Structure 1
Amino acid sequence: MIDNISWLAVYPEIILMVMGCVIVLADLGVSSFRRTGTYVLTMLTLAVVAIMQAMYAANGNTVYGWSNMVVSDAMGNWLKCFATLSMMVALVYARPYSADRGMLRHGGELFSLAIFSLLGIFIMISSNHLLVLYLGLELLTLSSYAMVALRRDHEASVEAAMKYFVLGAMASGFLLYGMSMIYGATGTLDIGEIFKVIDAGETKPQILVFGLVFLVAGLAFKLGAVPFHMWIPDVYHGAPTSITLIIGSAPKLAAFAVVMRLLVDGLLPLAADWQQMLAFMAIASLLIGNLVGVVQTNLKRMLAYSTISHMGFLLLGLMSGVVNGEVDTGTAQTAYSAAMFYVVTYVLTALPAFGIILLLAREGFESEEIADLAGLNQRSPLYAAIMTICMFSLAGIPPLVGFYAKLSVLEALVATGSSFNIALAVFAVVMSLIGAFYYLRVVKVMYFDKPLTAGPIVAPMDVRSVLSFNGLLVLILGIFPGGLMGLCADAIVRALTS
């Protein structure tokens, strides 16, 4: 029998599911070239869901529903709130670009697919059961494949969708095979029960570690960490920029949540094993992401390798929660709250960076090369300043929020007292210095190169307003980071003690 608490835990998901179907049907009666009616209905839906999630998160209660298959806690609710806001901002930036390229001419699939992909994100974040997690993952990825291929007449987009589909299917297979091994070893799919069985030593560690390898491989693909990063540059480059923006933002929050649910909540007794894998992937991601990013001339590919390097930093935070196989509550809370703060601020900074690329694109011109930003300051000091804030934040330059995100992860590493982790912190700083080159190159091009065109930059009022606020938020949270840091720390404490 399903009680009221079970329904309470999934009300936002139910709203998204119902409204996703309603939006599909309502769009049939919309004739506007820019799908104004569909867009407004989508934004209203997301606004209601974001408010609900913020209220759930502020309440701070942890609720398990549907026979413990889903969990509604402070960490998950804040991540879902941030994911919803991220999707709203992404759709504001994406709509003019998508309309100009005929992606909305035959229907508003962009908005319905965005709703269903967000539903997949919600299910992943709320999952406390391996099959529920996989269900959310497939809903997200299938929606993402379709969105990448939305520009049907564009060869690069169709090719990117095929690559994404093939590699994504392989990664899903890894994840599912790892889950089957974990189930075979523990006899349960409930993440909480998995922890209890492993902690009691009632299973063979060899089988668990074998399943863990496949599980981490599947998670690494979703994060875009080396050596499972090969899809990131091609998909980011080939997909329409509006879709690159969507798949490069909110899904990162879901990937972080899944790592927390699986590795920390379920497989913490195997921390000594998964920490080694996360450390290897973090080192490789920082190295390859920054070194290959230096030689990129395409802005979207550069941001793709930037994403890979940032996921390396995120993994450093996630791996520093356990020291020498021993769990210390203070260390774990510091590390995981730093990782949560990092992924939230990364998404916040990536949104306006891609928003500027979308804004500069015009009919027949994509503005994807770094050289296309030449002289942007002369054409629009405002947009050049926003892009500069984004680049400096991604590079980790104070007083922007990216600096404090990196600093919090490095502090978590050093606080462990492990000589290996301290060496990792030094390595991460060196890699960040190398990575700063390609961010500063973008700033140099905007301020010191001659513009390729003197034409004005025209932007709708909603895009201009949201872009300005988004850039200002990156600056304000850098000057006053305490509020968001405290929110992340409180959410992690509640999640770890529930």
Structure 2
Amino acid sequence: MIDKLSWIAVYPEIILLVMGCVVLLTDLFVTSVLRTATYVLTQATLVVVGLIYALYAQTDQSLYGFGGMVVTDAMGSWLKCFAAFAVAATMVYARPYAAVRGMLRGGELFALSLFSLLGMSIMISGNHLLVIYLGLELLTLSSYALVALRRDDLPATEAAMKYFVLGAMASGFLLYGLSMIYGATGTLELGEVFKAIASRQIHHQVLVFGVVFVVAGLAFKLGVVPFHMWIPDVYQGAPTAITLLIAGAPKLAAFAIVMRLLVEGMLPLAPDWQQMLAILAVASLLIGNVAAIAQTSLKRMLAYSTIAQMGFMLLGLIGGVVQGTALPAANAYSSAMFYVVSYVLTTVATFGVILLLSREGFESDALTDLAGLNQRAPLYAGIMAACMFSLAGIPPLVGFYAKLAVLQALVATGETWHLALAVYAVLMSLIGTFYYLRVVKIMYFDAPETGHSGVVLAPAGARTVLAANAALLLAVGLLPAGLMDICARAIVLMLGS
């Protein structure tokens, strides 16, 4: 018999599941071109669930349910809360874009978005290897369907096929790694995996091979080198609304399963997986930043930017265990959590501008499409400039403090190779600044191309949300202590549970 605490632990996920089905059924009776009823239902669900997650995050206790298979703790609740509001903002920006491209003929966009958030929530709550994998598959299957939502669009269909094939390969890597961990430890529950590894009464070589495959699978989900091949093609080929759904909230879930599997489950193996993450971070910072310079497509440039940004985030995970002690762990992992939240906040605003600039027959995908934007739409140009400055790490925006927090966590360990990594990251960030500032230069100093000089129109609600989103970039950058305290408290509670 399932106890009451188990139902409380997954209460928000039950709401998401039920409302996803309700949205699908309700849409059968909706005749509005903009699917107003299903849109309102979806947004109400996302806001309510996000507030419930925020309420759950206030508790200092970790709540385990279903025999320890799921866990509700402060870290997971905050990540799920941020993911819910990121998806809600995405829906605001995506609705006008999807309406003129025939993507709202049914309620699939809204229902699949709810199911993808449900997959993220299950991943984040997973305290069991199979639960984490089931959540991951729910998210990826929803994402495959969303990318292919425009069935008559050849680039979207091609992107969906690439995403499906490479995603299946990555899932195989992860599942094979999890099976090796199960074979070495004899358990699927993360707490028991930790105890088995700490006891050292296991086959170490089998376990290390398992960690290698797990890290490879996680690297694909994060989109870091050398498992980054899908990112540029899918970002460019998918409809921009779906690109944002993939680029935003799922990064929070990917960070969560890295924390669950590597930190909660395999912290005693930190010397092994930290070296792997260091190699991934170094390669991602180099290839992501250098390749982005050569891009003429805005979405493709942002794809390589994502690779570099995720590489920078991995640096925060490298300094958690130093010379056998986990004393720096709280500082290191909270800086990484702050970084990924800041990245998602900035990315949602960036793609929001692209979506609102797009119109029927015009995707606003090329860098030249932004030429003279300041003359046509000063608000959008200002918001896009703020996003570029934040991604580049220029003060006083949130991206600056996020990078500073990660670098501080690395340098604070006192390790020589960590200091070298910090210097390398700064140099790579300087290279990255070039292509971010190029976007600003195009918007403010280039003359608009013929046919792109009209007034930009967008719904008032979308403009309001976009302005609020951009204001948060500045507010959190000027006053980062609030979000940093949330991340630090969440990580300390997670490490102590």
1:214-225 mapped onto 2 (5 Å cutoff): 214-225=213-224
In structure 2, the residue matched to 1:288 is 287
The residue identity in structure 2 corresponding to 1:175 is: L
In structure 2, the residue matched to 1:478 is 477
1:88-487 mapped onto 2 (5 Å cutoff): 88-105=88-105, 107-328=106-327, 331-452=328-449, 453-487=452-486
Identity of aligned residues (%): 69
Deviation per CA, 1:238-260, whole angstroms, max 9, x where unpaired? 00000001110000000000000
CA distance in 1 between counterparts of 2:31 and 2:420 reads 59
Partner SS, residue 323 of structure 1? coil
Partner SS, residue 350 of structure 1? helix
Displacement after TM superposition at 1:365 (Å) = 1.0
Displacement after TM superposition at 1:478 (Å) = 0.7
Displacement after TM superposition at 1:61 (Å) = 2.3
1:58-97 mapped onto 2 (5 Å cutoff): 58-97=58-97
The residue identity in structure 2 corresponding to 1:6 is: S
CA distance in 2 between counterparts of 1:61 and 1:466 reads 33
Partner SS, residue 489 of structure 1? helix
Partner SS, residue 206 of structure 1? helix
Number of aligned residues: 495
CA distance in 1 between counterparts of 2:490 and 2:179 reads 30
In structure 1, the residue matched to 2:29 is 29
CA distance in 2 between counterparts of 1:11 and 1:363 reads 40
CA distance in 2 between counterparts of 1:318 and 1:421 reads 11
Partner SS, residue 58 of structure 2? helix
The residue identity in structure 2 corresponding to 1:60 is: D
The residue identity in structure 2 corresponding to 1:441 is: R
* Structure 1 vs Structure 2 CA RMSD: 0.6
Displacement after TM superposition at 1:381 (Å) = 1.0
TM-score normalised by L of structure 1: 0.99
CA distance in 1 between counterparts of 2:183 and 2:453 reads 64
CA distance in 1 between counterparts of 2:388 and 2:212 reads 35
Displacement after TM superposition at 1:451 (Å) = 1.5
CA distance in 2 between counterparts of 1:167 and 1:311 reads 19
Displacement after TM superposition at 1:58 (Å) = 1.4
CA distance in 1 between counterparts of 2:61 and 2:115 reads 26
Partner SS, residue 64 of structure 1? strand
CA distance in 2 between counterparts of 1:80 and 1:151 reads 28
Displacement after TM superposition at 1:298 (Å) = 0.5
Deviation per CA, 1:420-443, whole angstroms, max 9, x where unpaired? 000000000000000000000000
CA distance in 1 between counterparts of 2:479 and 2:378 reads 25
Partner SS, residue 71 of structure 1? strand
The residue identity in structure 2 corresponding to 1:233 is: P
CA distance in 2 between counterparts of 1:264 and 1:323 reads 14
CA distance in 2 between counterparts of 1:104 and 1:19 reads 18
For structure 1, list consecutive stretches of 5 or more residues without a partner in the other structure.
Answer: none
Displacement after TM superposition at 1:108 (Å) = 1.2
In structure 1, the residue matched to 2:17 is 17
For structure 2, list consecutive stretches of 5 or more residues without a partner in the other structure.
Answer: none
Partner SS, residue 33 of structure 2? coil
CA distance in 1 between counterparts of 2:301 and 2:60 reads 39
CA distance in 1 between counterparts of 2:364 and 2:63 reads 47
Displacement after TM superposition at 1:325 (Å) = 3.3
Partner SS, residue 39 of structure 1? helix
In structure 2, the residue matched to 1:38 is 38
Deviation per CA, 1:414-472, whole angstroms, max 9, x where unpaired? 00100000000000000000000000000000000011232111010111000000011
Displacement after TM superposition at 1:52 (Å) = 0.5
Displacement after TM superposition at 1:142 (Å) = 0.1
The residue identity in structure 1 corresponding to 2:347 is: A
CA distance in 1 between counterparts of 2:332 and 2:186 reads 31
Deviation per CA, 1:75-129, whole angstroms, max 9, x where unpaired? 0000000000000000000011011100112x01000000000000000000000
Deviation per CA, 1:1-53, whole angstroms, max 9, x where unpaired? 21111111000000000111111100100111111110000001111101100
Partner SS, residue 150 of structure 2? coil
The residue identity in structure 2 corresponding to 1:284 is: A
TM-score normalised by L of structure 2: 0.99
CA distance in 1 between counterparts of 2:100 and 2:247 reads 21
| Deviates most, 162-171 or 360-369 | 360-369
